[in-house]
Chains A and B, each alone.
Chain A
């Protein structure tokens, strides 16, 4: 297999997940004038609060588009629950992206539709997103829950060292 093909296959298999601090790319769509890339954070996204971002570029030259009006519609396939959000650059950590925090109420497949309006032109991109079941609160805060046992272990070690030193 030629080397470039081999690497292209790897790209497809690895579902490229470069974090651009909008998170990991979910899908990319090329329209007539624009290239729209959707990001999710955290990756993979799970039920609960999530940050979704969109990177809008001119198709020619791939220059970032910073003056668009971007909105997002999410629809849970199973229950039909809908979430609407207006994405702005102010809400995205990467100011080249448009982002918004959203609340994903359930796990499973969600249909996504991004609408970009720029200079009166309306462009739409669609895709799907797989939302994992919510991770338990205990696992989200594991660092805080691990703090007491770790400190107790360090304290026990300290006491052991003191006693050993006292024994000479």
Chain B
């Protein structure tokens, strides 16, 4: 192929956001189309699906293909881009009859709870009907086309990306309105008879022809930018403009006149018109009851998860990895980025664990290697004692968690492979000793700080190990899920499945799944954060919103997320060093200790007590402690957002860090030096998105808690307001952290 032609065809400017949006729309439509096709096969034909896909492809062609790339150099390319956005993409999208498939493709809760009130609003429906009224729709497109072709505005769009996008948006959305009555989008009803669409289209063509004639026959270049742009192949700007006019004239007119001709021919066929009317008269089908997805019943994944030794296999793999990390940490080079103990636990494991919590559930505890040695030892020795009742709370774990967060920064554990190795080894020993003395899973439930991190954050996870059919459990007399049987132990964390509440204290060990003789336990999707909003008594955990120890744990994790991330930013590190020098201290430990005591203990206590006091003042008669505990749990999502932002930063900047460490360990020749930290461009937006979603989720949870607490909307707002301020302040702190230069830990 000619190199110039080849270069032309390769000049795609694919914007990730546009592609993601188009793919999401395609997925949404396909999902809805599949559901509707089962009920209305004659309306939702494969042709509709193809038309919608074609519409999306036309948008992609307009915005990402060489047509877009060369739009700034050649007016004719720009004109093709506009034609795609005005006359091709909207028509194809509307031929796909997209309203119902897009709505039906949405998750049921989003459709019903989020969009439902808007769809049912009379005023909004009136606005929608008005917008697609032929007079308004026609005028909107004509105005958009005329106004944007006025040279000063066209120049504005050529010179600014934002205005260019605004121009395209205007063309696309007004064209969508214009074609709506022409195509006849179901289930909206047309206000004008079909034949009226013929003059409607003819008049639109008149406007198009007028503009095209101006471009074609003008004796000067209308858009100055094209005069200054480099000319391709000697095509003068004036010739280019005339060609653009011709494109607008001929294909543009065809786009208006062919539909007019089709409508005219159909109007002359009485049988055809009757058939369309009969289809249009059908009522919108009701949404069928949802069949929940059960991951244990999935075709490939199900048998793997149900395999009796699945957990042991995963734990063994993790144990092997832990042994390698410990060995390298103790015997390997004490430079963190070159040592597996310096990168795998701090960069990869933490990042993958929070992503697993976000996407699925507590998968780390499922694969936890620390409990594997004691499981093996319990085959020979049975522990004698029950966990002391006075320690059946999260206070020990909360203390250990705060200590761990402090030690991480105070002793720069991320930079010390040997310390990391000893901590992992110590963890194995602690888990072994505790669980060989006490029955059940006392270590997981009451001691393990990592486990508590996962228990708290799995409250916003989308999956839960839960009963499939509660009615079956009513007739169950054996309660094997908690008691176990001869073949399988029951839940060691004392969670009785029929009364289990959310993911709290659940290690996803799947012992209950194996033990249940009715096979009535699955891994099911649940609304995120349901437990945070509710006020129910759960088996083995009681009422979370009345437990001070759980509230303390949540506070440590929420504030710890921000303190932990802030301590790796340049301004905070400089500030700490300045104080270190000013006070003449021998080490940074006392400064870090002061920061952590203030940031993880004192400030959270003061903030939650003050917010609780204000909320209590707004809602007299409520229990202040319960109120404070409930709202404290509502802060968990914003804290989780910060952990996600922080750990995804490490994972994205140091994902390739273990490669040289493995190469060294396996005595392979290096593939090219050590990983150098670099921040991908998509990372800050992703981090902000995590924070955004965390804040919104926290505010929503606080609102639901407030509605539960107060009777009317005004009181609810007042009760939640101090917590909203606190969540928003944490969010702003998070945004500030994301914008600061970061210490790239785990990389060279």
Contacts and interface: CB of A to CB of B under 8 A. Distances in A.
Interface of A: 3-4, 7-8, 10-11, 14-21, 24-25, 28, 35, 37, 42-43, 55, 57, 61-64, 66, 89, 93-96, 137-138, 141, 144-145, 147-148, 151-152, 155, 157-159, 161-163, 165
A18 B11 contact: no
15 contacts: A14-B224, A18-B159, A19-B158, A19-B164, A20-B72, A20-B229, A21-B68, A21-B72, A25-B228, A25-B229, A93-B12, A95-B6, A137-B739, A144-B692, A145-B688
B298 interface: no
Interface stretch (B41-49, B231-239, B551-559): B231-239
Given A21-B11, A165-B117, A147 B233 contact: no
B739 A138 contact: yes
Given A16-B224, A64-B7, A94-B69, A148 B229 contact: no
Contacts, number: 137
Contacts of A61: 233-234
Contact of B11 (A42, A94, A148, A158): A94
B656 to A, nearest CB: 20
Contacts of B221: 7
Given A24-B159, A94-B70, A35 B230 contact: yes
Interface string B229-263: 11111100000000000000000000000000000
B231 A10 contact: no
Contact of B227 (A7, A37, A148): A7
Contacts of B225: 14, 16-18
A119 B309 CA distance: 68
Given A20-B72, A148-B692, A165 B120 contact: yes
A125 to B, nearest CB: 13
A24 B230 CA distance: 11
10 shortest interchain CB distances as A-B pairs: A16-B228, A18-B225, A95-B7, A144-B688, A17-B159, A19-B72, A18-B229, A20-B72, A161-B117, A18-B72
Give the residue among A144, A159, A162 with the most B Cβ atoms within 10 A. Answer: A144
Q: B-side binding surface: helix, strand, loop or mixed?
A: helix
A42 B161 CA distance: 9
Contacts of A95: 6-8, 10-11
Given A138-B739, A158-B117, A20 B70 contact: yes
Interface stretch (B320-328, B329-337, B694-702): B694-702
A21 B13 contact: yes
B220 A4 contact: yes
Contacts of B731: 148
A62 B114 CA distance: 56
Contact of B713 (A18, A42, A159): A159
Interface residues of B, number: 52
B232 A62 contact: yes
Contact of B230 (A3, A28, A42, A145): A28
Contact of B69 (A15, A16, A18, A21): A21
B148 to A, nearest CB: 16
Nearest to A159: B713
A61 B232 CA distance: 9
A3 B224 CA distance: 13
Nearest to B157: A19
A108 to B, nearest CB: 22
Nearest to A56: B230
Contacts of A62: 230-234
Contact of A11 (B12, B161, B224, B739): B224
Contacts of A19: 71-72, 158-159, 161, 164
B128 interface: no
Highest count of chain B CB atoms <10 Å: which of A11, A20, A35, A62: A20
Contact of A3 (B8, B121, B219, B696): B219
Interface centre among A14, A25, A66, A158 (most CB of B within 10 A): A14
A95 B40 CA distance: 47
Given A62-B233, A89-B7, 18 more contacts: A7-B227, A11-B227, A18-B72, A20-B69, A20-B70, A20-B72, A21-B13, A25-B228, A25-B229, A57-B230, A61-B234, A64-B7, A66-B4, A93-B12, A94-B69, A95-B8, A95-B10, A144-B685
A157 B692 CA distance: 19
B107 to A, nearest CB: 16
B684 interface: yes
A125 B695 CA distance: 52
Interface string B391-408: 000000000000000000
B102 interface: no
A135 to B, nearest CB: 13
Interface in B143-176: 155, 158-159, 161, 164
Contacts of A10: 224
B696 to A, nearest CB: 5
Contacts of A93: 11-13, 69
A35 B68 CA distance: 23
Contacts of B230: 20, 25, 28, 35, 37, 55, 57, 62
Given A3-B220, A25-B229, A162 B72 contact: no
B73 interface: yes
Contacts of B8: 95-96
Interface in B55-72: 68-72
Contacts of A151: 696
Contacts of B233: 61-63
B689 interface: yes
B158 A17 contact: yes
A55 B735 CA distance: 40
A147 B688 CA distance: 10
Contacts of B385: none
B659 to A, nearest CB: 25
A57 B7 CA distance: 14
Given A16-B229, A21-B11, A148 B685 contact: no
A104 to B, nearest CB: 16
Interface string B675-696: 0000000001100110010011
